[in-house]
Amino acid sequence: MASQMLEKTRKINKTLQTSGGSSVSFSLLAEALGEVLDSNAYVVSTKGKILGVYLNVEKDSSVIEDEETHKKMFPEPYTKSLLKLNETKENLTGDEMVELFPYEGDRKNKYLTVVPILSSGQRLGTLILSRYDEKFTDDDLVIAEYSATVIGLEILRAIGEELEGEMRKKAVVQMAIGTLSYSELEAVEHIFEELNGKEGLLVASKIADRVGITRSVIVNALRKFESAGVIESRSLGMKGTHIKVLNDKLIEELDKLKSN
């Protein structure tokens, strides 16, 4: 018969295996870990954002919600305290726990374990576990540290995918700009100066008259950008054309061209 620790580790692995190679939900990992350890489990970014959470005891949660963004966070003092820890701290309770998490003074018989999520010496986040009445055992800590390693790899993958997406968006914009003639590029620069943001109303004839180019040059430039998927345009008849930037790298790349 497999040991309890092996069974618990297999449950964590099953969460990874059922992802089918796609990004693993940090909430699913937190849930699997919280269930096998019978604890609350939090995956927290270096900025205090809650990436994943499982609440075995819901009323015990220290998570707050930002009023503007509605993102779930840990209080700022908690985040600062967490980043000072560079190694696992297990079974913090009483004064030790309050020193780390100042608002926990009324939580009696609570045990807190903090596992930094690291990769190549870089701090990627923190795994936090808490439960009442029962200390975390050595086996529990092995599972927690293994889980922190898995979560670290997932965070790295998410960062990689985000960077890849940013590079792809930049490449699309550069290709779209590369299809423009000199006069079309000049027209585009004036169009987005007029737009003064990512969305607005454009009157092509006014820009054509002011800059000294034909209206057809402006129309062709907009069509090329729309074909590349970097903008969306909608004719409003005599009022002009409503333009919306779909690729946030467009303004950035046009600004670079102007500065050169």
The overall average pLDDT reported for the chain is 85
* Residue 217 burial (CB count, 10 A): 21
Quick one: which of 72, 167, 160, 165 has its CA closest to 124? 160
**75 vs 40 pLDDT, higher one:** 40
187 is written with which tokens?
């027209």
Span(s) in the chain for CATH 3.30.450.40: 4-167
CB within 8 Å of 247: residues ≥ 6 apart: 169, 172, 173, 229, 230, 231
* Residue range 149-208, pLDDT digits in tens: 888 888 888 888 888 989 999 999 999 999 999 999 988 888 888 887 888 888 888 888
* Residue 226 burial (CB count, 10 A): 15
* Residue range 92-117, pLDDT digits in tens: 988 888 888 877 767 778 899 999 99
In CATH, 179-259 is 1.10.10.60: no
Give 21's pLDDT tier (boundaries 50, 70, 90): very low
* Residue range 213-222, pLDDT digits in tens: 888 899 899 9
Give the strand order in the sheet containing 241-245.
Answer: 199-202, 241-245, 231-235
Give 59's pLDDT tier (boundaries 50, 70, 90): confident
Span(s) in the chain for CATH 1.10.10.10: 179-259
Q: Write down the pLDDT at residue 127.
A: 95
Q: Which CATH number fits domain 4-167: 3.10.290.10, 3.30.70.2660, 1.10.260.40, 3.30.450.40?
A: 3.30.450.40
- Whether 248 shows a pLDDT value over 50: the answer reads yes
Query: What is the enclosing helix (H) or strand (E) of 72?
Result: strand 72-73
- Contacts made by residues 249-253, CB under 8 angstroms, sequence distance 24+: 249/166, 249/169, 249/170, 249/172, 249/173, 250/173, 250/176, 250/192, 250/225, 251/192, 251/198, 253/170, 253/173, 253/174, 253/177
State which amino acid sits at residue 260: N
Give 239's pLDDT tier (boundaries 50, 70, 90): confident
